[in-house]
Amino acid sequence: MPIVAVLGSQWGDEGKGRVVDYLAKRVDIIARFQGGDNAGHTVVVGNQTFKLHLLPSGVVTGKLSVIGNGVVVNPFTLVEEMDALEARGIKPNIVVSDRAHIILPYHRILDGLQERIKGKFAAGTTRKGIGPTYADKMARIGIRIGDLKDLTGLKEKIELIYKYKQPLFEKYNIECPKPEKVLEDLRKVRERLLPLITDTTVLLHEALAEGKWILAEGAQGAHLDIDHGVYPYTTSSNATIGGVCTGLGVPASEIRYVIGVVKAYISRVGAGPVPTELTNEIGDYLRERGREYGTTTGRPRRCGWLDLVLVKHSHRLNGFTHIVLTKIDVLSGLKEIKVAVKYKHSELGEIDYVPASMKDFAGCEPVYETLPGWDDISPEEWANICKQGVDRIPENTMKYIKFIEGYLNVPVMMASFGPEREQGILLQDIELN
Ligand code: IMP
């Protein structure tokens, strides 16, 4: 069972790149299975910071990176990101599934238009065209990466889609990108992409048969999942464990580890209720210290106390074998730290799950446990503590870690106290053999 999945347990931006970076060195292949360039991974290696959107963050290791069939691919972003990596001395080693759907210019325009029309129901999307591309996939009018191989067929498909989309664009007085222009732009990147296109399902199965390890790198988080997240304020893909199987074409029985990444507090970009949001100076403290500004959009993130109801619900959906706790350092210097352990609702009573209705969710009051804080500790000191070992972790920090571990009843594999590789500590490693 040589697959290890790394999944976000909250609303994305949990710091998944941190654990992916650690595991990527030990696996053979890194694969993305859902989402697109709406994601934003910041990977810090030495004095270099890489901001990636579409490519898996593990690509910086030079290992084979797979963009699976469940991903929606903006071909222009893909080429840009490859070029940017090459310019910094990293030769990306990438293959792209012929079944992955393509984000085209009209999807991005439609994303903005839909948000405008939706008004108060708008999700606050990244405007990358994610929703409209997945919608076309489901409506069976999408264009797939494999279609780039056949220019005649591609032309026909783009012309057909124009027929569908044009009347809607016209209604809103927006110019629909002309098929000739879309085709011309695709031709420009096509030559770069053709050598990368393959049946990644077959490739991954060959790797599995050889006993190779695959790291399935999740984007976004469980509560942005299209089925299980806070609909309609979600993304349009499955960021939970089932997405690994459908988005890569691998069976569930091949998944050995499911690692849930949990940020030590919460952050949220976009709309929708956030029960533990702090709109006071503590929220600002978390945002500034945690540099909580969107990697993709630059938007300030909404911040608040850790909500263990969200994480517990995410554990139900994913069955975490381990968790990784990130950005614990951000909480340093606070006198006390609160953690939501259940919700109180006027009609539903006390609950420990996320209700389906956003009206119900908005009426959920978090019930907190209060834990003692710890001193402010500099990034250098955290690195020092990590070097010296678990015993050097401040007592109250350890209490916080143990509280989360106890509540979820899932072992903490790694705790991280900053973006640098040396600012993390392994509490219980996994075996990859
Ligand atoms: P979309 O994925 O661009 O359609 O956006 C839908 C929702 O998901 C919005 O609330 C976005 O802010 C959120 N979202 C999408 N990708 C990410 C991510 O990588 N991190 C955090 N939030 C995200």
Q: Three-class SS string for 357-410? A: CHHHHHCCEEEEEEEECCCCCCHHHHHHHHHHCHHHCCHHHHHHHHHHHHHHCC
| CA 266–ligand 1 middle distance (angstroms) | 15
- The token pair that represents 169 in the structure block: 């664009």
In single-letter form, the type of residue at position 419 comes to P
Q: Could you confirm whether 13 is annotated as catalytic? A: yes
Alpha-carbon distance of 94 to 77, in angstroms, equals 14
* Nearest-10 crossing angle of helices 151-171, 105-118: 20
Q: Is 284 helix (H, G, I), strand (E, B) or coil?
A: helix
Q: How far is CA 261 from the centre of its chain?
A: 10
Best substitution site from 107, 235, 237, 326 to test ligand 1's pocket, by max atoms within 8 Å of Cβ?
235
Task: Output the residue whose Cα is nearest ligand 1's atom 11.
Answer: 125
| CA 135–ligand 1 middle distance (angstroms) | 16
| CA 73–ligand 1 middle distance (angstroms) | 15
Residues contacting residue 19 through CB under 8 Å, at least 6 positions apart: 6, 259, 261, 324, 326, 413, 414
- pTM of the predicted structure, to 2 decimals: 0.95
Backbone φ and ψ for 221, nearest 5 degrees, come out as: -150, 170
Sign of the dihedral defined by the CA atoms of residues 120, 224, 220, 227, in that order:
negative
DSSP state of 430: P
Q: What is the pLDDT of residue 1?
A: 67
Alpha-carbon distance of 431 to 43, in angstroms, equals 24
Residues with CB under 6 A from ligand 1: 11-13, 38-40, 123-126, 128, 130-131, 219-220, 224, 233, 235-236, 269-270
User: Which of 13, 98, 147, 329 is labelled catalytic?
Assistant: 13
Q: Three-class SS string for 228-274? A: CCCCCCCCCCCCCCHHHHHHHCCCHHHEEEEEEEEECCEEECCCCCC
Q: Could you confirm whether 41 is annotated as catalytic? A: yes
| CA 125–ligand 1 middle distance (angstroms) | 6
Alpha-carbon distance of 415 to 14, in angstroms, equals 12
pLDDT by residue for the chain (433 residues), tens digit each?
Answer: 699 999 999 999 999 988 998 899 899 999 999 999 999 887 776 677 878 899 998 888 889 999 999 999 999 999 999 999 998 888 899 999 999 999 999 999 999 999 999 988 898 999 999 999 999 999 999 999 999 999 999 999 999 999 999 999 999 999 999 999 999 999 999 999 999 999 999 999 999 999 999 999 999 999 999 999 999 999 999 999 999 999 999 999 999 999 999 999 999 998 899 999 999 999 999 999 999 998 777 889 999 999 999 999 999 999 999 999 999 999 999 999 999 999 999 999 999 999 999 999 999 999 999 999 999 999 999 999 999 999 999 999 999 999 999 999 999 999 999 988 889 999 999 999 7
Q: Is 322 helix (H, G, I), strand (E, B) or coil?
A: strand
Task: Output the residue whose Cα is nearest ligand 1's atom 20.
Answer: 12
Q: Which residue in the block uniquely carries the two structure tokens 């959009």?
A: 297
> Is-contact 77 38, C-beta < 8 A?
no
Cis status of the peptide bond prior to 232, with omega within 30 of 0 = yes
In single-letter form, the type of residue at position 433 comes to N
Best substitution site from 14, 220, 226 to test ligand 1's pocket, by max atoms within 8 Å of Cβ?
220
Short-list 400, 431, 432, CA closest to 417: 400
Q: What is the pLDDT of residue 296?
A: 73
